[in-house]
Every structure is written in C-alpha cells, then in structure tokens.
Amino acid sequence: MLLPHPLTGELFESPVPPGSGWPEDPAARSTEVARTAAEVVELAQTPELAELDARVSVCRACERLVEWREEVAVSKRKSFADQPYWGRPIAGWGSPEPRVLIAGLAPAAQGGNRTGRVFTGDRSGDWLFASLYRVGLASQPTSEHAGDGLRLLGARMMAAVRCAPPANKPTPEERDNCSPWFRRELELVLPSTRAIVCLGKFGFDVLLNALQSVGGAVPKPRPRFGHAVEYVVPGPYGEVVVLGCFHPSQQNTFTGKLTEPMLDAVMSRAKSIAESLPGGIPGG
C-alpha cells in the first residue's frame, strides 16, 4: 500500500525502495547491496563517504534484523499507521567533516526505522536534538523526519548497528557484521574529528574497538564507560577526546539517571574541545 510522506505528501511503499525520492535517501536503485558479512567487508572499502552511506542504507546482511525492520514497517504502530516507514538501515548523518562525532547503539523501531534518520522521531531523539540545539551543534531543537530542514553544525551521528533490533538488543554476531560499516565511516571522518561522544556503554565499547582498529592508541588499562568520563586517544590525525554519556533512553530520562543539564554538560564539553582547536566549529 502506498502512503503519503508526512512532510512532502509523496506516496511511498513500506519499506521504502532505494532511489524512490524519500528525503535524504543516500541510495540509488543501482546501489550495491551487501547480503552477507563477507560482502559487508568488501563493500565497506569505498573511498567516498556518500557512497558508504548509500551502501549502508541498503544492507541485507543480517537476516533477523532485515525481517524485524521490515515487519515493523508493515505492521506499524497504531499512531503512525497512516505513514510509510523507511524500514531500511540508517546511514550516518550530519557533517561529512565533523569536529564532534556522536556514536550510539542502533535506530529505534518506531523512530529512525520509521523516519529514515538516526535518533529521529522518538523520545530519545527529542532529548538529544534539543540538547544539541541548546549548545549550538544543531540548527533547530527538533528532529521530526528526514527532510525537515534540520542541520548538524560541525557534528555527525552514527550508530554501532544500523538496523532497528528486536527489544533494542542486537546480537554479538549482528554487531560484528555491522562493524565494517562503522569502522570505515569512522576512518573517513576521523581526520576532522576532535571529540567523540558515546551514548551508552554499547556505543562506547564499539567506538573504542573501531578507533583502535584504525590506528588509535587506546589507553591501557582499557577505558571504562561512565557518564562524563573523558579519555584522550592519540590517533593517526592527532588526539581525539572520547567522552561517555548516559543514553537518552526513556528508562534513563524518566528515572532521572540522565537530566537535561547532565546531557547539555557533555555536549557542551565536546563542542568546547572542538572549538579549542584550529578551525573551531564550522557553520554547517
């Protein structure tokens, strides 16, 4: 069934076929598709960030995740039953030359899996983007849907696992299958990156593994995750500062484990680190 996009009104299937006109879709109909873990390794070796994003967005290497994301795109939450769902993997999003990088776990079934943009369309995203706007890393305080005009300012977001997992829990195999995408994206944006905010322990651990694999000298003993912790990691393009941050999940925000001032403090610190270096935070 074709349904209208909530912003453009254009009709789309659920899941959305690549190259069909969805706002911010990085892929074309001709984009190469990885169907196995070995093909992920092969297709991740592109020199172009835009092509990497395109290939990520059509990946079909994890059977369980493909079935789940597409099932959700068809069954839908009742409140979004009149909308088409993206139903595909979520590519990294933001500046191609970020000073601040934000690494999370995975898209939400009714969030990024619906809207086509990481951390967009759910309560976690509401918290995150409001904070980024308050500290000057986003052009507006809300992120409702791909194509809503939002821009990140000198920042980029990426997820350790690119498909929405059942119960928000990817398996170790799914994490490992997705790691070449994450590692290659990190490698391509690392020359400009000076601060990396990790949302939650899962993202923190995946980030450290990837950083080490691309030439980062991760400290020993290995850094431990915690809110507002900071670790300086020498890398191939200079030092980067890795910061821990509790994930803005409803479990954390409803209980007060993470408050707006706590989240703002970490994001502001990351921006401050980036601004202290030559070039500062670009304007777009």
Tell whether the torsion through CA atoms of 6, 7, 12 and 17 is positive or negative. Answer: negative
Of 36, 44, 41, the closest CA to residue 60 belongs to 36
CB 8 within 8 A of CB 23: yes
- Residue 194, pLDDT score: 96
Angle at 177 between CA 171 and CA 183, to 5 degrees: 115
Per-residue confidence (pLDDT) for residue 281, from 0 to 100: 63
pTM for the whole structure: 0.95
Per-residue pLDDT of the chain (284 residues; tens, 9 = 90+): 899 999 999 999 999 999 999 999 999 999 999 999 999 999 999 999 999 999 999 999 999 999 999 999 999 999 999 999 999 999 999 999 999 999 999 999 999 999 999 999 999 999 999 999 999 999 999 999 999 999 999 999 999 999 999 998 999 999 999 999 999 999 999 999 999 999 999 999 999 999 999 999 999 999 999 999 999 999 999 999 999 999 999 999 999 999 999 999 999 999 999 988 665 565 44
Strand partners, 11: 4
The total of other beta-carbon atoms located within 10 Å of residue 123's CB is 14
Give long-range contacts, CB 8 A cutoff, 24+ apart: 123-132. Answer: 123/248, 123/250, 123/253, 124/247, 124/248, 124/249, 124/250, 127/248, 127/253, 127/258, 127/260, 127/263, 128/102, 128/199, 128/248, 128/263, 130/260, 131/248, 131/260, 131/263, 131/264, 131/267, 132/267
pLDDT at 284: 43
Residue 196 near residue 223 (C-beta atoms within 8 A): no
CB atoms within 10 A of CB 260: 13
Q: Which domains does the chain have, with CATH numbers?
A: 3-275 (3.40.470.10)
| Omega within 30 of 0 (cis) for the link into 191 | no
